[in-house]
Structure 1
Amino acid sequence: MYVISGVTGHTGKVAAETLLSRGESVRVVVRDAAQGAAFAARGAEVAVADLGDADALARAFAGAKGAYVLLPPNLAAPDVFAWQAGLLAAFRSAAEAAALPHLVFLSSIGASQPSGTGPIVGVHRGEQVLRGLSRTRATFLRPGYFHENVAGSLGTLAEGKFVTFFPPDFPLPSAATRDIGALVATLLLEGPTEDGAVVELGSPVTPNETADAIGRITGRRPALVALPATEQAATLRGLGVPPPVAALFQEMTTAFIDGHIAWEPGRRHVASQTSIEEVLRGLLSQPRPSQAQS
């Protein structure tokens, strides 16, 4: 039995579907039973639990070989890191209480750095909290920048432009969420190795390559507009992102460009299986906003 959280999002959904397709027993963790109905129809168990409820989460982990957890985005939290700390404490407590053998945690490239990485600081702290459990071995999956993040910049395509805060030829380490979910399933099936094992996922993609892919899909390559990273926070604030969160994302972008966020030497590394063009084909088939979102 494998326990999967985040099934209403991208990575958890793929992980659960992958395990079910391989004939494995799966228990999905959702906040409302209705959210798990599609998985129940495929034979999965459904556990109703808030990720911050350690007791409910321990019940969900009971009897499992391994579990997948992640920190969901929450732009509305007054203090994002404090909110995440509550979830991490629940993950640790639940894993210990359930004697869970293996916990796969969605971390990020750059999580080896304690500061200066924007929102990635949260998963750095998560790795520290989840190391050294007496009954549970943790595996930390560190993907690169999500391919899907490009969706926020597709709104200006109607104007013939593609806006980015990265230099045109910057090789941004990137991965598709479907590849993350598939690798989660693989890591759970492999089982635990040493506690604190790190697995990286991703391959470089430049903004120019992304613009080229858009051109192949649409028949019209957009003009690449590379804005300075120092303008990102103001742009995000203008789109309604809370100022502290906007500042964190600008810090992250700058850290990528400066090389502060990078792959860690000596770690197991898995290349991307899904190209940026494949992801863009899916995104461009959906309705798009008229304004850019970064």
Structure 2
Amino acid sequence: MTVVVTTPTGHVGSRVVRLLLQAGARPRLLLRDPSRLEPDIRERVDARRGDLTDADFVRDAMAGATAAFLVDPTPHTVEDPVGTSRRTGAGLAAAVRESGVRRVVFLSSVGAEMRHGAGHIDGLAAVEEQLDATGADVLHLRCGYFFTNLLPALDDLTAGRLTTTDDPDRTLPWVDPRDIGDIAAARLLNDTWDGRTVQGVHGPEDLSWRRVAEILTTALDRDIRLRPVCDDDARRTLAAAGLPPGAVDGIVDMTAGTRTLTPEQPREPDTTTPTTLAAWSHTHLRPLLATHRAGHQC
């Protein structure tokens, strides 16, 4: 069995790779820079250098594979994020059809079930539909809010702030990307499922932003104050940072468009993963914040 893994150095993909190796597989990794792989990984995989937006590269690299873990690598910062995701998805779907890949696990998001009106998440919805049309067995992982989305907020957290445009008391699923990788790897190695399947990946509990601030206050051993801002303020901040209008809309509308959403997949045992935000923050975020603070003090 040959398993293709895209974005293998990302928070989810790197976990998938390690678990496939532990299961005795030699995964085929599609990435732009193989030097980013850890040395012990690089020797045990089939690394193919290229860009996931290059449909010819993806088709050739997936030839002969049995299964694939697919991720849309489109950054939120491009001018047309949804259109870019759709074009990338078309290449991925064509590669699945032409390569004969029989089983696909796709990293999607809560909100993709809306299909329209959820900012850049609409791009993931488009990729879901493109993959569904390939004839392969496809599993879409509709994931909650990644714990790792807090990593770009180190400046704010250092200053004791947590900023959001969301309703401070609205709850939503939060999840550790490593737990997503666990599910993806297990599904890639399991050949007993078929058809089109959707699975929510919701972390251990739904959290409000107010509750997140409380958890971080304890885990980081510093007072973290919630700072709600309106959508227009967020748009102005992103525009001032140099992002193009389409990118600004794609980012802001991911929250604005899903404020009243109830995830299509309910919280059940198979959508609930174990790692808590408190444990993840203490293990990963706290040391990063200490280093970040020390760097600012020098």
| TM bucket, shorter chain | 0.7 to 0.9
Q: In 1, distance between residues paired with 2:171 and 2:3?
A: 35
C-alpha displacement of 1:143: 0.2
Q: Which residue matches 1:141?
A: 141
SS at match of 1:20: helix
Shift in Å, 1:85: 2.4
Quote the residue 1:13 is aligned against. Answer: 14
What are the Cα deviations for residues 103-122 of structure 1, in whole angstroms up to 9, with x where unaligned? 11111111111211011000
Q: Distance in 2 between matches of 1:192 and 1:234?
A: 49
Kindly indicate whether the alpha-carbon contact (under 8 Å) linking 1:165 and 1:253 is maintained by their aligned counterparts in 2: yes
Q: Which residue of 1 aligns with 2:177?
A: 177
Whole-angstrom distance in 1 between the partners of 2:30 and 2:40: 11
Cα displacement string for residues 60-106 of structure 1 (whole angstroms, at most 9, x for unaligned residues): 22332211111113245332223222211211111111111111111
SS at match of 1:162: strand
Unmatched runs of 5 consecutive residues or more in structure 2: none
- Alignment correspondent of 2:242: 240
In the alignment, which residue of structure 2 is the partner of 1:187? 187
Aligned-residue offset at 1:132 = 2.6
Distance 1:50 1:159, change over 3 A: closer
Distance of aligned partners of 1:228 and 1:76 in 2 relative to their CA distance in 1, 3 Å threshold: closer
Q: Distance in 1 between matches of 2:221 and 2:86?
A: 46
Report what 2:46 is aligned to: 45
SS of equivalent residue, structure 2 residue 68: strand
What is the TM-score normalised by the length of structure 1?
Answer: 0.87
Counterpart residue number, 2:151: 151
Asked whether 1:122 is paired with 2:123, we answer yes
1:18-167 mapped onto 2 (5 Å cutoff): 18-36=19-37, 38=39, 40-134=41-135, 136-167=136-167
Q: 1:151 to 1:141 in 2, by over 3 A?
A: same
Q: Structure 2: how far apart are the matches of 1:15 and 1:285?
A: 24
CA deviations 1:229-256 (Å, max 9, x no partner) are 4432222223333332122222221223
Offset from partner CA, 1:199-254 (integer Å, 9 cap, x none):
11014122222222222123333222222344322222233333321222222212
1:142-178 C-alpha deviation (Å, 9 max, x unpaired): 1012122123444233433332222332212221211
User: 1-side partners of 2:157 and 2:28: how far apart?
Assistant: 41
Counterpart of 2:103, as a letter, is H
Paired residue secondary structure (1:100): coil
Number of matched pairs:
287
Greater shift in the superposed pair: 217-226 or 36-45: 36-45
Counterparts in 2 of 1:276 and 1:265: CA distance versus 1, 3 Å: closer
C-alpha displacement at 1:5, in angstroms?
0.8
Q: How many Å separate the matches in 2 of 1:258 and 1:245? A: 22
Per the TM alignment, residue 41 of structure 1 is displaced from its structure 2 partner at its CA by 3.9
* 1:178 aligned counterpart, secondary structure: helix
Aligned position for 1:272: 273
Q: Is the 8 Å Cα contact of residues 52 and 88 (structure 2) preserved in structure 1?
A: yes
Q: Is the 8 A contact 2:16 2:185 kept in 1?
A: yes
Cα–Cα, structure 1 residues 285 and 242, in superposed 2: closer, same or farther, change >3 Å? Answer: farther
Displaced runs of 4 or more, over 6 A: none
Describe the shift of the 1:276–1:230 C-alpha distance in structure 2 as closer, same or farther (beyond 3 A): farther
Residue 267 of structure 1: how far off its partner (Å): 9.3
- 1:220: which partner in 2? 222
RMSD: 2.5
1:85 aligned partner, one-letter code: R
Distance 1:148 1:89 in 2: 28
Q: Where does the alignment leave 5 or more consecutive residues of structure 1 unmatched?
A: none
Given candidates 199, 205, 208, the residue that maps to 2:207 is 205
Residues 143, 175 of structure 2: 8 Å contact kept: yes
Structure 1 254/64 Cα, relative in aligned 2: closer, same or farther at 3 Å? same
